[in-house]
Amino acid sequence: MPIVRLKISSKLISSLMVMFLIAIPNMSSAHDIPKPSFSLGIMQISDNAFNALAGTGVTIDDSDTVANFTVDYYVSPSLAFEGGVITSPEVSASLPSGDSGTLHGKSYSASGALTLKAKTDNSYLFGVKYSPSSTGALDVYGKAGLLFWDVDFSVSGSGTFTYNGSTYNSKTFLQVDGSDPYIGLGLSYEISKNTSFAFDYITTASTNAIEGVALDLSGYSISWLRSF
């Protein structure tokens, strides 16, 4: 695990350095720069972790509602660094007895009726947010950066689950973590001098699968935004 943390930290530092270099030409005098802001909201997440299991007798629940929190620090009227947290979504799939196939590139089989769950721990995002000049209450923006994630896959039920040659019952059968780029679009509407409501869409997909697992998330969020 220390090695994983070191890799994540190195990637984060490198990414922030690149973002800072991109931001330098856009920096303006302090009186033009908006105040830092934070947002609190709810997000409807879609997770395709179990899409490969689709078939006769299989039931997949691939969405969950979670909370999200972000902080924006502006370096110009249009450009901000953004950091945030997305709380833990959980999706599941119910398998009939005798079901078999391939999941994340590894073979599986189910003996007895089973439920698989994929629970993502709190995910952290770091990136940049760009807002074109706006003179009205409505503002549109785009965002991009890295999402750091950690997922536990577990099984429960009346039988056993064989995955990649090993047999499991009521326990975790796979743990993976990683970091992947995300992009997003959003709009906010100012309701007072320092307060807005925001609607965002964000999506991410793995470019380098770990243990055969490729993260594939997307989500819509509604947030309350407040400037300091």
Q: What pLDDT, in 10s, does the model give residues 33-66?
A: 889 999 999 999 999 899 999 999 999 999 999 9
Question: In the predicted model, what is the mean pLDDT of the chain?
Answer: 86
Q: What is the CATH number of the domain that holds 69?
A: 2.40.160.20
Per the structure, the count of domains in the chain is 1
How many other C-beta atoms lie within 10 A of the C-beta of residue 165?
Answer: 7
Distance CA 194, CA 157 (A): 51
Contacts of 114 (CB under 8 A, 6+ apart): 94, 95, 155, 156, 157, 158, 159, 161
Q: What pLDDT, in 10s, does the model give residues 77-89?
A: 899 999 999 999 9
Q: What confidence score (pLDDT) does residue 214 get?
A: 74
Domain that holds residue 145: 2-227
Q: What pLDDT, in 10s, does the model give residues 102-136?
A: 998 899 999 999 999 999 999 999 999 999 876 68
Per the model's pLDDT, the better-predicted residue between 208 and 150 turns out to be 150
pTM: 0.82
Q: Helix, strand or coil for residue 105?
A: coil
